[in-house]
C-alpha cells in the first residue's frame, strides 16, 4: 500500500527556463555595467543639448559684441565670451551638432564600405581576399591623421571633405574586423547547408553571415564615433575642417589658443565638451564589448 501511494503521488512539473534572446541578454548585461551606463548617459545628454540648441542657446552663434570680448564666465555669459564677444555656451551647443553629425555619418559610411569589402574578402578568399587585404594594409601603413590630412588636401578644406576623409581612413578597421569574423562564420553548419540547397551568395552573405557578425561591428562603431570626433577636431584645429564662422570644437580651440593665458576659458570649455563626448563613447563602447562578447560573460 505504501508503495502504491508513492506511485500515485503527483509529479511536480519542472519549471521551464526562460528563453532570452541574445540581444535582450546583452541589454541586461549592459545595464549592469554602471560605467557603461554613465557613458551612455553622457552621450544622451549631448544629443539632447545638440537637438535643443536653437531653444536653449542664450544667444546666436555669430552674435558679436565687441564691447564684451573675452569676458570671463558670469551670470550673463555662463561660459564667458570669445575674442569677438560671442557667447561660448551657445557656440558649444551648436558645435555639438557638428561633432556628433560628423561622427555618426563618418562611421556609418566607413562601416558600410568596410563591411562590404571585408565580407567579400572573407567569403570568396583567394585573389579577391589578397587584393582587398593589401589595400587595407597600405591604408593602415599611414598614420590615420596624416592620411586624413592628405585626403582633405586633395579635396579641399571643408567640413564635408573632412567627413569624407574621416570615413575613408576608418574603412580598413571595419573591413579587417568583419573579414576575420566571416572567415569563422562561413564554416558554420547553417552556412554550409545554405550552400548545399543552392542558395545564392548574396542571400547567404546578407541574410546569414552578416547578421551573425554584427556584434563586433556595433562595438567598433561605437568606439569609432569617439575617434571620428577627435579626428574632426584635429582637422578643424589645423584649419582643414569646418570653415569660419561654424562653431566646430576643434576650430574653437584653434581660434582661442593665442588667448590661453589672457582668457583660458575660451579653450577650457570647448576642450571639456570634446573630452566628455569622446569619453562617453569610449565608456559605452567598452560596456557594449563586455555585454556582446561571450568570452566576457561569467
pLDDT digit string (tens) for the chain, length 298 residues = 445 444 555 555 544 555 566 667 777 778 888 898 999 999 999 999 999 999 998 888 888 888 888 899 998 889 999 988 899 999 999 999 999 999 999 999 999 999 999 989 988 888 988 999 999 999 999 888 899 999 998 998 888 999 999 999 999 999 999 988 888 887 777 777 877 877 887 788 777 788 777 888 888 999 999 999 999 999 999 888 888 888 899 999 998 888 889 999 999 999 999 999 999 999 998 888 888 765 555 4
φ, ψ (nearest 5 deg) of residue 55: -90, -45
**pTM of the predicted structure, to 2 decimals:** 0.85
- Report whether 123 contacts 209 (CB < 8 A): yes
Residue 265 lies in a domain: yes
Residue 93 lies in a domain: yes
**CA distance linking residue 99 with residue 29, whole number of Å:** 29
Residue 107 lies in a domain: yes
| The three three-digit cell numbers of residue 120, written as one number | 567579400
| The three three-digit cell numbers of residue 121, written as one number | 574578402
Residue 15 lies in a domain: no
| The three three-digit cell numbers of residue 157, written as one number | 578644406
- Report whether 58 contacts 80 (CB < 8 A): no
Half-sphere exposure of 19 (CA within 13 A, CB side): 0
Burial of 46 (C-beta count, 10 Å sphere; 0-12/13-18/19+): buried
Range of the domain at 241: 41-296
* Alpha-carbon separation of residue 236 from 50, 119, 158, 231, 257 (angstroms): 19, 33, 9, 8, 13
**CA distance linking residue 178 with residue 117, whole number of Å:** 9
Residue 4 lies in a domain: no
**CA distance linking residue 243 with residue 241, whole number of Å:** 6
**CA distance linking residue 137 with residue 146, whole number of Å:** 15
Residue 3 lies in a domain: no
What SS3 state is found at 141? coil
Instruction: Report the CATH number that the domain containing residue 168 is assigned in CATH.
Output: 1.10.3720.10
The total domain count for the chain is: 1
CA 292 to chain CA centroid, Å, is 16
Nearest to residue 135, comparing CAs of 169, 184, 183, 178? 169
Residue 34 lies in a domain: no
What SS3 state is found at 209? helix
Residue 28 lies in a domain: no
Half-sphere exposure of 45 (CA within 13 A, CB side): 13
Amino acid at each position: 500500500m505504501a508503495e502504491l501511494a508513492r506511485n500515485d503521488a503527483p509529479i511536480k512539473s519542472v519549471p521551464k527556463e526562460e528563453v532570452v534572446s541574445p540581444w535582450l541578454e546583452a541589454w541586461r548585461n549592459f545595464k549592469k555595467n554602471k560605467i557603461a551606463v554613465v557613458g551612455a548617459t553622457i552621450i544622451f545628454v549631448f544629443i539632447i543639448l545638440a537637438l535643443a540648441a536653437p531653444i536653449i542657446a542664450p544667444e546666436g552663434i555669430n552674435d558679436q559684441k565687441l564691447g564684451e570680448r573675452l569676458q570671463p564666465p558670469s551670470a550673463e555669459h555662463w561660459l564667458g565670451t570669445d575674442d569677438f564677444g560671442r557667447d561660448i555656451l551657445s557656440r558649444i551647443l551648436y558645435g555639438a551638432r557638428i561633432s556628433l553629425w560628423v561622427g555618426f555619418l563618418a562611421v556609418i559610411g566607413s562601416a558600410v564600405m568596410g563591411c562590404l569589402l571585408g565580407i567579400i574578402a572573407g567569403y570568396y578568399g583567394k585573389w579577391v581576399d589578397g587584393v582587398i587585404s593589401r589595400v587595407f594594409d597600405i591604408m593602415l601603413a599611414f598614420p590615420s591623421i596624416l592620411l586624413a590630412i592628405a585626403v582633405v588636401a586633395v579635396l579641399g578644406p571643408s567640413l564635408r571633405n573632412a567627413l569624407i576623409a574621416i570615413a575613408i581612413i576608418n574603412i580598413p578597421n571595419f573591413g579587417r574586423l568583419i573579414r576575420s569574423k566571416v572567415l569563422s562564420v562561413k564554416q558554420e553548419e547553417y552556412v554550409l547547408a545554405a550552400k548545399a540547397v543552392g542558395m545564392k551568395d548574396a542571400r547567404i552573405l546578407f541574410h546569414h553571415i552578416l547578421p551573425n557578425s554584427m556584434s563586433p561591428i556595433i562595438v567598433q562603431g561605437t568606439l569609432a564615433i569617439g575617434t571620428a570626433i577627435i579626428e574632426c577636431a584635429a582637422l578643424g584645429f589645423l584649419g582643414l575642417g569646418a570653415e569660419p564662422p561654424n562653431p566646430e570644437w576643434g576650430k574653437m580651440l584653434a581660434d582661442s589658443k593665442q588667448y590661453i593665458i589672457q582668457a583660458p576659458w575660451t579653450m577650457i570649455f570647448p576642450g571639456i565638451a570634446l573630452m566628455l563626448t569622446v569619453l562617453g563613447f569610449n565608456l559605452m563602447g567598452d560596456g557594449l564589448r563586455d555585454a556582446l562578447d561571450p568570452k566576457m560573460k561569467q
